[in-house]
Structure 1
Amino acid sequence: MDKPSWIRVWEAKIPPKLKVFVWQILNRDLPTTETLIEKKVEVLPRCPVCWDGPETMEHLFLYCLVARALRDYSGLEYLGEGLPRHTFHLFLKRLLALLHQLSVVMAVVAILWTIWRSRNRVVFEGKQFVIPALMRQFNQQYEEWVGLLADQAPRVQIPMMQSTTQVGNSHLVCMWNGATKGGSHSAGGMVLFDPARTLLLARGVKFSQMDDPVVVELLVLREAIIWCMEQGLSEVRFEDDAKVITDKINQADTRDSRLGAVLEEIGHYFRTRPGFSMRFVGRENNRVAHLVARKALSLYPTMSRFFDFQTWLVSRV
């Protein structure tokens, strides 16, 4: 087995039995009906979950209706684009070698484990699956594992400026932007640059039942501020093309009944952090954050937090 592939799994904060499970897949030793038939065990060759084809690992983890539903729900359907899929253990081996974020590795394993566990319940317990319930199981499993990762792993470190009093180009720059669709849901994008405009981080967020563009822009700004604070940043200039919001923040204007509470919260962040500032920029100068916002919107209603916005953005700009 390729060392980089296995290292990804070994470093992930998942139970040992899950590491054995992935090891079985990578070594073509998972007891699917195809494997059992090869070992002269008499079993029905059809997929016990959907009955739409033989139960190979390729079918079970890539093409079965459960696999497709979970990939779409998780927002990870983009993973593995361009990799050959005719042999799943090789596909997974190459995919794992390409992944750099342990949280994404854990999400992939959570999908595979949810599929396999639902399959076994059908085979051994005669229990029928319900897609929404499987999605909840996947989400619960992933949240538990990523919580362990957050507890044990150090926070992402970003190079900081030596002085906390300098302004202008000495600041890190966080560009942010909102996007809405169909009056029912919305999303936002935020991108962090160093003073030389080198991309450091990118993130997308989403909101349900939110269709007011100004409110969405303000909520994205709040998320961007909290995101920067979570990274331990003390000098950030926030840039966006929403002049009405930039003016309200810079003028400490909280009179708008729609925005008052959020404006007050954001104003508090700026008042207590002298290194935080706001600047209006035109749409063309905010193009990168706009790209991230539109991508986050396209992932709705999947969990865009699993999407590697930074890697995707590097391929686009």
Structure 2
Amino acid sequence: MDKRSWIWVWEANIPPKLKVFVWKILTRILPTTEALIEKDVEVLPRCPVCWASKETMEHLFFDCPVARALWSQAGFDSLGEGLARHTFPLFLKKLLAILHQPSQFMAVIATLWRIWRSRNWVVFEGKQFSIPALLRQYNQQVGEWLGLPREPQSPSSHLPDRPTVVVSGLGGPVCRWDGVVRRGSHSAGGMVLLNDVGTPLWAVGVQFPNLDDPMVVELLTLRKAVRWCLAHGFLVMRFEGDAKVVIDKICRADVRDSRVGTILEEMIQIFRENPGFTVRFVGRGDNRVAYKVARQTLSLFPTTCRYFDFQTWLASRM
């Protein structure tokens, strides 16, 4: 693979595990049943999804009914037409070389990942799945990647060594947030705007399907809260939550976590550009209202919580 394409893969705004996944495909070390048999691992020499033939990489990503259906419904039927398909890694190398838009690149990687994940659900968890469900997950994944752009950094835009986010004391309006996770399933976040005496003035919940990483959920919830305040013209706001690790990372401008580095960069930049915004840690007891909203939001899954009357619901429990 040419140097330009490798750089595109490794600098793409996708999780590190997806970069490793692409690398495994291109170097033919993805653990398909064919690869395992070649290493003398005792496995059934059949595709675990369709049982039609031996699971080669070409079958998995080209010929398996799940792969064909997902490529079709994702709108990629004609992508790569004219390229030789006798070996999938070579096909993928050539395909990536002709993709000129990041959105196309991310969409192709998301499709491959959904195919691989569906195969692993069958092999390791014995789960069944549907093409519409895979397509929803594909759309969500591409949307998340495209919604978190990583701008190229100039020498003057490097994050400073010292903290740039002020840890606020008391005073000013307060927005509290919290996230809850249902392991192996879904998650949700709750955001509450409080007045000076602690009465909720506004509350909303947000759902995160197929996401069960607590740190990611806390950060995405905080980002939703900050964006809402910016959109509604708030110039001063104290954001309070019980996610101490997340708050410490923001205060120290620590973006070294590969899972959430891009989101952390965005949050640090927002707090830097809005000096009236501060962040502060509070205990779970003080954050119970946001926690209640998050729990109620999770209980509403998979229905949307957009039209749920959180104000009336909170008033009945305060």
The structure that is helix-richer by fraction is: 1
TM-score range, shorter chain: 0.3 to 0.5
TM-score with structure 2 setting the length:
0.46
